[in-house]
A and B are shown apart, each in its own frame.
Chain A
């Protein structure tokens, strides 16, 4: 086996975030827009779970900033939310990793909902909170799609040997 450095597979990580961003702003029919999973949040959760030594709060914050720029929302609101989410995920990665799939999905639901909660708080403070319950649907769809994301991304991680010094997996 060749020695893996902590830099192996950075391309895969970047690409996965890139695809997540594209999926985030991909135009969808009106009724589907509300169902769109929070792709970037899912990616942040996955990588913070898989390689918490490499992908953690900093990356989460940066991705949030990108979303803020893309969405034209208040700079910092998604950054704050994603930083918190990736912080918690990285903190609890050892527990969440060994959960059975459905329990993992439940954790993802909680994390994405937390992300949305933080965003909606900021929106509320600024004065434009969304008025429908549909706002929370992405948490649900994100949790439902999580098992597939996890299996797929696990494969990607193995293929491109994205490793983490601290955890070794």
Chain B
């Protein structure tokens, strides 16, 4: 009976005040070995697969990646000038700006969590400056956010978790909405869309940045289904997430300007001038248009992140 009481108290403590986050982190060290053992065969087979690929495959892949890199670099050049222009315009308007996000790649562990929530475990934790509430992306869009961190790994709640919702806006017209998870990995529900709102299947949804957790402008999903219901106040709108929630093995963790721990020393002005300096020679030597090396940290990969703008 004492234990029942203790459990109830623990649950209340965990739910209400989040004091237990550190307790959870330390207790998690006990379960690392188990997680490691479960993940080991899969990582092992991946490792073997990586190591036993034939020369031909590697060459082919290398070629493809090279081609891809060239294309991306070309796009990046354009984006950098656009970003600069955008920044100048924003400064004219005296509004805040968003740039130079830092990214780190993390891998999903092959571990099943509770099947009725949409959560996954990744192999980066407090040691890598991961923090609770950190946005997680994959190559195609918003993946989810970090909800627990332990020293070595963290739990990520996917955007489709029934307990997850994020503010979005329609790329076409800026219509704001909230995309809530449904528990189904192919489906997001847009809440509180009036019946007469200008939204249709195929619309791209971007993060609006209003909630403060996710930075603005990242793709979230594509509207798949709009059913106006005149008997209800709101239409039923579903969207399909852009991120490959079932398939991605690698995800990216994002630090925005506001949350950058060691990098965030520079103010916007410093960044602006640094960028202006870096951008000028970039026009003659396009290959050097990549991120300014001064900002690169040793451990995590630092990518000047492409403003998503229009996708495809």
Q: A64–B6 Cα gap in the complex (Å)?
A: 13
A76 in complex: contacting residue of B11, B34, B111, B115, CB < 8 Å = B11
Across-interface contacts of A22 in B (CB, < 8 A): 34, 37-38
Interface string of A103-147 (1 = CB under 8 A from B): 000000000000000000010001110111001000000000000
Q: A131–B112 Cα gap in the complex (Å)?
A: 19
Q: Smallest Cβ distance from A106 to chain B, in angstroms?
A: 24
**Given A27-B112, A79-B3, does the pair A72, B34 have CB atoms closer than 8 Å?**
no
Q: A69–B121 Cα gap in the complex (Å)?
A: 12
Query: Which positions 50-77 of chain A face chain B at CB distance < 8 Å?
Result: 57-58, 61, 64-66, 69-77
Chain A residues proximal to chain B, CB less than 8 Å: 18, 21-22, 24-28, 30, 33-34, 36, 57-58, 61, 64-66, 69-77, 79-80, 83-84, 122, 126-128, 130-132, 135
Report which residue of B9, B112, B121, B155 has the largest number of chain A beta carbons within 10 angstroms of its beta carbon: B112
Query: When the two chains form their complex, are residues A28 and B112 in contact, meaning their CB atoms are under 8 A apart?
Result: yes
Query: When the two chains form their complex, are residues B11 and A80 in contact, meaning their CB atoms are under 8 A apart?
Result: yes
Report which residue of B10, B116, B119, B163 has the largest number of chain A beta carbons within 10 angstroms of its beta carbon: B116
Across-interface contacts of B117 in A (CB, < 8 A): 73, 128
Across-interface contacts of B246 in A (CB, < 8 A): 30
Q: Which residue of A has the minimal Cβ distance to B5?
A: A80
Q: Smallest Cβ distance from A60 to chain B, in angstroms?
A: 8
Across-interface contacts of A126 in B (CB, < 8 A): 15
Query: When the two chains form their complex, are residues A66 and B31 in contact, meaning their CB atoms are under 8 A apart?
Result: yes
Query: When the two chains form their complex, are residues B3 and A58 in contact, meaning their CB atoms are under 8 A apart?
Result: yes
A33 in complex: contacting residue of B13, B30, B115, B163, CB < 8 Å = B115
Interface of A is mostly: helix
Judged by a CB distance under 8 angstroms, whether B217 is at the interface is no
Q: Which residue of A has the minimal Cβ distance to B39?
A: A27
Q: Smallest Cβ distance from B112 to chain A, in angstroms?
A: 5
Across-interface contacts of A57 in B (CB, < 8 A): 3
Query: When the two chains form their complex, are residues B116 and A135 in contact, meaning their CB atoms are under 8 A apart?
Result: yes
Interface of B is mostly: helix
**Given A27-B42, A58-B3, A75-B23, does the pair A130, B116 have CB atoms closer than 8 Å?**
yes
Q: A84–B4 Cα gap in the complex (Å)?
A: 8
Q: Which residue of A has the minimal Cβ distance to B148?
A: A72
Query: When the two chains form their complex, are residues A76 and B7 in contact, meaning their CB atoms are under 8 A apart?
Result: yes
**Given A26-B112, A75-B11, A128-B162, does the pair A70, B20 have CB atoms closer than 8 Å?**
no
Across-interface contacts of B113 in A (CB, < 8 A): 25, 70-72
Query: When the two chains form their complex, are residues A75 and B20 in contact, meaning their CB atoms are under 8 A apart?
Result: yes
Q: Smallest Cβ distance from B156 to chain A, in angstroms?
A: 10
Across-interface contacts of B11 in A (CB, < 8 A): 74-77, 80, 122
A74 in complex: contacting residue of B14, B38, B116, CB < 8 Å = B14
Q: A80–B4 Cα gap in the complex (Å)?
A: 6
Q: Which residue of A has the minimal Cβ distance to B12?
A: A76
Q: A27–B41 Cα gap in the complex (Å)?
A: 11
Query: When the two chains form their complex, are residues B24 and A69 in contact, meaning their CB atoms are under 8 A apart?
Result: yes
Q: Smallest Cβ distance from A87 to chain B, in angstroms?
A: 9
Report which residue of B7, B38, B112 has the largest number of chain A beta carbons within 10 angstroms of its beta carbon: B7
